Amino acid sequence: MKFSLHPCFLSLSVLTGASLAAPALAGEPHELTPVPVVAHHGPAPLQFIVDPRAPAQPMPAQDGADALRSVPGFNVIRKGGTDGDPVFRGLAGSRLGILLDGELIFGGCGNRMDPPTAYVFPTAFDRVTIIKGPQSVLHGPGLTAGVVLFERIPMVCTEPEFTGIAALTLGAFGRNDQLLDATAGNPRFSLRATATRTAADDYKDGSGNRVHSQYERWSAHANGTWHATPRTRIELSGTLSDGEAAYADRAMDGTQFARENIGLRFRHETTNGLLAAIEGQAYYNYIDHVMDNFSLRTFSPTMMMPNKTVSNPDRETFGARVLGHLESEGPWQATLGTEFQENRHTGRRSMNEDMRPFKSLPRLRDGRFRTTSIFGEGTWDLDGESRLVAGLRADLWRAEDPRAMINVGMAGAQPNPTAGSTRRQTLPTGFLRYERTFAGSLHAYLGLGHARRFPDFWEMINKEGPPSLSAFETKIERTTQIDLGFTQTHGATTYGLSLFANQIDDFILIENGFPKGMRSATVARNIDARMLGGEATVLHRLGDHWRAEAALSHVHGRNRTDARPLAQQPPFEGRLALGYHETRWSAGGVLRAVARQNRIAVGQGNIVGQDLGPTPGFATLALHGGWMPHPAFRLHAGVDNLLDHTYAEHLSKGGAMVAGFPPPTTRVNEPGRTFWLRGEVRF
């Protein structure tokens, strides 16, 4: 076995049937990778591609939501130093699918302490693909906002190889990240092992106020691949991860984010006939989450929690899918598939950990969801320059409500009016898109999509209904959306424009303070809404070494039922960057400007958060530089929020009272001036 700076090649068989061959490690082996500040368009319309290992600005990502910040249209709801919730085009929660190696995952906490991206360690993946809107049916049910695919690419070695990468990131406020990723393989077998760790202390905002935000997270992943034949591949993988995180927006912190995962995948390519390839996977995912009010903060009794309190939800997921890729001798190709997933959620809670430890308490089942789906998506080449893309999906949903009682705050536990109920519904999703290429450089598209989304755990189980203690009968959400846009390269300039407009019937709105007699409640209720907006990007190359980038994004939402703005909509945002890049050196800066947001609906929102009030605009400036003294060694450094501005994102959660910290702010402020340094060695 030899050691080489030129690793095995990556072979990605994505679910659309396309394939990619590229070097195993992102970037050219003998060229310094420029720092991306605006994610670039993917190989297909409505796609964006992100390299999760590339040094980025702001600071290199430490969780899944962080990895999406460079994509126009994405925002992150801050709660502390980690585990923010991603929002795309003003839509959050289960409207946006998060897939890890083809597995759709969910968190456990009823109050979204652990969104799916909390279990994502970006540097453990090779690439991230974002597909916008209801314009694909291949990746899961009810994904009306879009889907995010975190992908590891299987190794294909033509000879015995051993390759890897080790990286270290250091930064202000105690930031300390490590990555080790190594692969050994030959033409028949390969083994890949990846370990990551990230940690940080409490950060300070631009005014020097400390924010309760420390965290530590780690993951370990192993993947073995057997190439039984040149056209048959079988993979077995396993993942373990855990962590802890302090939160500035609530009365409890996360002391355990344990995840166990095992997966089996296969792919077989045929040599003739209509069926070009068949692939499938089966997986098991278990999340065991613990939160309390004393481990990561000074215990401070309150009326709601007078004693040390621990909550321990968990979620068990089983899933499987099979895909067949069809290729005709004519102008069409298609992917047909079926999949199954079941989620089981339980919880237990100790209101006095000293007297009744939570581990001594039984787990209570509080939700069970099952989907069985069939789907198909295909492309028809019309004349070499234009094509039709269409997809259709049917999802059979089954949901069970096993709760005997519902906790109603100070009123205590009350009988559940939907105890033992079961819901079954078959929901269709479909889209049709026309794409055309003009003069070889202008790629335009126009698409119409319709998706129906079943209420999720946070909406059905963790909220009340307007007329009932239970929201189990909440109506399904129906989205009809038009997408249009184009990408064009003209000389040294590349343009991209992506627009959308939708009608969402029975949009599931979460509202705080809903009156119920002598008390108020947080309810899930259905409204009708309309949204429109989009993103625009420009990349211009100024000679051989300089390039300028710009991106704009905007969303406008209307709650038609209440005749007011739709809540939790991000403000207009622009980003402008200038960068210099040559073989061994790179440098640049990025200016981000965000407008004031006055279109609000206080107390209304989604399962992540509700509007708190208007926010002023702000602007931040960041700088970065890179150096490659040797083909195997790279060094990047940067400073975020250079001017040490004090600001908060409009979609940030509200601050909570934490003993030993300054009084809570209206929103959780962003970090102040932040220096960082990232080095990596490839072998």
Q: Yes or no: say if 73 and 676 are a contact pair by the CB < 8 Å rule.
A: no
Res 10 pLDDT > 50: no
In a domain, 498, yes or no: yes
On whether residue 583 sits in a domain, the answer given is yes
Between strands 386-400 and 405-407, the pairing is unpaired
Say if 650 falls within a structural domain. no
The pLDDT tens digits for 205-248 are 999 999 999 999 999 999 999 999 999 999 999 999 999 999 99
Q: Which residues contact 203 (CB under 8 A, 6 or more apart)?
A: 81, 172, 173, 210, 211, 213, 671, 672, 674
Q: What is the pLDDT of residue 38?
A: 67
pLDDT surpasses 50 at 12: no
Number of H helices, E strands in the chain: 1, 42
Tens-digit pLDDT profile for residues 329-381: 889 999 999 999 999 999 999 999 999 999 999 999 999 999 999 999 999 99
How far is Cα of residue 28 from the mean position of the Cα atoms in its chain?
A: 27
pLDDT at 647 > cutoff 70 = yes
Is residue 276 within 8 A of residue 270, CB to CB? The reply is: yes
Q: Which residue has the tokens 């430890």?
A: 357
Instruction: Give domain status of residue 647, yes or no.
Output: no
pLDDT of 514 over the 60 cut: yes
The tokens describing 308, both together, are 């040390």
pTM: 0.94
> Are residues 237 and 273 in contact, defined by beta-carbon separation less than 8 angstroms?
no
For residue 128, give the nearest of 71, 198, 180 by alpha carbon. Answer: 71
CA distances from 655 to 227, 499, 646, 666 (A): 52, 34, 15, 6
Of 571, 568, 576, 504, the residue nearest 536 (C-alpha): 576
Secondary structure (3-state) at 458: helix
Whether 524 has a pLDDT exceeding 50, the answer reads yes
**CA-wise closest residue to 26 among 12, 16, 13, 44:** 12
Tokens (6 digits) for 202: 């409490």
Question: Over 50: is that where the pLDDT of 14 sits?
Answer: no
The pLDDT of residue 36: 67
198: in domain? yes
Give me the domain span that covers residue 287: 2-642+658-682
Give whole-number Cα distances, 5 to 16, 165, 557, 632, in Å.
31, 10, 50, 7
In a domain, 652, yes or no: no
pLDDT at 4 over 70: no
Residue 646 has pLDDT above 50, yes or no: yes
Antiparallel, parallel or unpaired: β 332-347 and 275-292:
unpaired
The pLDDT of residue 16: 31
pLDDT digits (tens, 9 = 90+) for 459-504: 999 999 999 999 999 999 999 999 999 999 999 999 999 999 999 9
Lowest-confidence region among 16-30, 190-204, 205-219, 325-339: 16-30
Question: Which among 114, 117, 7, 116 has a CA at the least distance from the CA of 52?
Answer: 117
**CATH code of 347's domain:** 2.40.170.20
Model confidence at 155, pLDDT cuts 50, 70, 90, reads confident
Domain assignment of residue 651, yes or no: no
Identify whether the C-beta of residue 644 lies closer than 8 Å to the C-beta of residue 172. Answer: no
Between residues 57 and 214, which one has the greater pLDDT? 214
353 is a domain residue = yes
Cα-based angle 192, 196, 200 (whole degrees, multiple of 5) = 175
* Average of per-residue pLDDT values in the chain: 93
Where residue 439 falls among pLDDT bands split at 50, 70, 90?
A: confident
- Is the confidence at residue 553, as pLDDT, over 90? yes
**CA atoms of 668 and 647, how far apart (whole Å):** 9
Categorize the per-residue pLDDT at 93 as very low, low, confident or very high, splitting at 50, 70 and 90.
Answer: very high
Count of domains for the chain: 1
| Cα separations in angstroms, 63 against 30, 67, 123, 147 | 28, 7, 9, 17
Task: Spell out the alpha helix ranges (H) of 456-574.
Answer: 457-460
